[in-house]
Structure 1
Amino acid sequence: MLAAGEQRRTVLVVEDEVLVRLALADDLRARGYTVIEAASGDEARKLVLAGVEFDLIVSDITMPGELDGADLARWLHDNHVTTPVMLTSGMPSALDAARESCANVTAFVSKPYDHDDLLQQVEALLARSDD
């Protein structure tokens, strides 16, 4: 819930697995966040190019399309988008590769993740971005 005068934060959830995306989006909405969903890195890039602003981007790494989550993070960095990025993956090798190649990513989370733990990390990242 939002305190009086507190601004609603916007989180972009980028996940190709529909049920995973819906569950995370629902959890974030229940915590008072505005959530925008994208099924691929390509969709996320279109939203950024359209001028949609986010306080945090939570993206799976392995997705179909031209941009996977790590590619999206690198594209954001290359285009000077400073929104914090959290990457998730069920593949440890994908997380390791992203750690080495995505300097702008602020958190890496292994799947399957505990939703409460992930939400705590979201809150911590957003609190850090307020500083």
Structure 2
Amino acid sequence: MRPAAERNLLPCGSIDLDQPCIDLVRMRSPPPCILLVEDEPMICFVVADYLRDHRFLVIEAMDVNEAMALLEARDVVVDLVFSDVHMPGELDGLDLARWVRATLPGLPVILASGAARTSDLAGELCAFAPIEAKPYCMGSVARRMELALAD
């Protein structure tokens, strides 16, 4: 049985969480670094805390401009970007995914969204990055990250 934090935080999607996880996080040294781009402070806190508990390094950005600045600075090697689609400001998660694809090819991006209109954009979203529907299960997100990092 999954821990209460996983069961209660967000419902699970299509990834089978009962399958053994790839143990990439423990094998990698240093651990994979995730750039978490989320404008909702409580969601950001919960997601970052969960990922850190599961041996990921996490850098947080509150909007797309901050995320781009962190990626351009290259002070830290980011292994994967996990971003909400709908963000404040002129740029959103789709813009970030496009920018990453053009500027840092090969850097995996996973998008997340709870907005109903996102389902209308599913084709476009999938062209840039896999998407996790909100509310999402943290175990599912971590497993998707491990799979993306394995590619």
1:17-49 per-position Cα deviation (integer Å, ceiling 9, x unaligned): 001011111111011111000000111011111
Q: Pick from 79, 82, 97: which aligns with 1:55?
A: 79
| Unaligned stretches of 5+ residues in structure 2 | 1-24
Q: Which has a greater percent of strand?
A: 1
The alpha carbon displacement at 1:101 in A equals 5.7
The match for 1:64 is 88
| Unaligned stretches of 5+ residues in structure 1 | none
Residues 84, 104 of structure 1: 8 Å contact kept: no
The alpha carbon displacement at 1:114 in A equals 1.1
The alpha carbon displacement at 1:99 in A equals 3.5
Instruction: Give TM-score, length-normalised by structure 2.
Output: 0.75
1:26 aligned onto 2:39: no
The match for 1:103 is 127
1:67-115 per-position Cα deviation (integer Å, ceiling 9, x unaligned): 210011111122244210000000142254264166331x110001111
Change (3 A) 1:103 1:6: same
Q: Pick from 109, 125, 130: which aligns with 1:85?
A: 109
Q: Distance in 1 between matches of 2:68 and 2:96?
A: 7
Q: Kindly name which structure, 1 or 2, has the bigger radius of gyration based on alpha carbons.
A: 2
Q: In structure 2, give the amino acid aligned to 1:91.
A: A
Q: In structure 2, give the amino acid aligned to 1:111.
A: K
Q: In structure 2, give the amino acid aligned to 1:115.
A: M
Q: In structure 2, give the amino acid aligned to 1:62.
A: H
What RMSD, in angstroms, separates the aligned Cα atoms of the two structures?
A: 1.9
Q: Pick from 33, 45, 48: which aligns with 1:10?
A: 33
Instruction: Give TM-score, length-normalised by structure 1.
Output: 0.85
Q: Pick from 32, 37, 42: which aligns with 2:65?
A: 42
Q: Distance in 2 between matches of 1:75 and 1:63?
A: 15
Choose between structure 1 and 2 for higher RCO, CA contacts under 8 A separated by at least 6 residues: 2
Say which SS state the counterpart of residue 127 (structure 2) adopts.
coil
Size of the aligned set, in residue pairs, is 126
Change (3 A) 1:18 1:99: farther
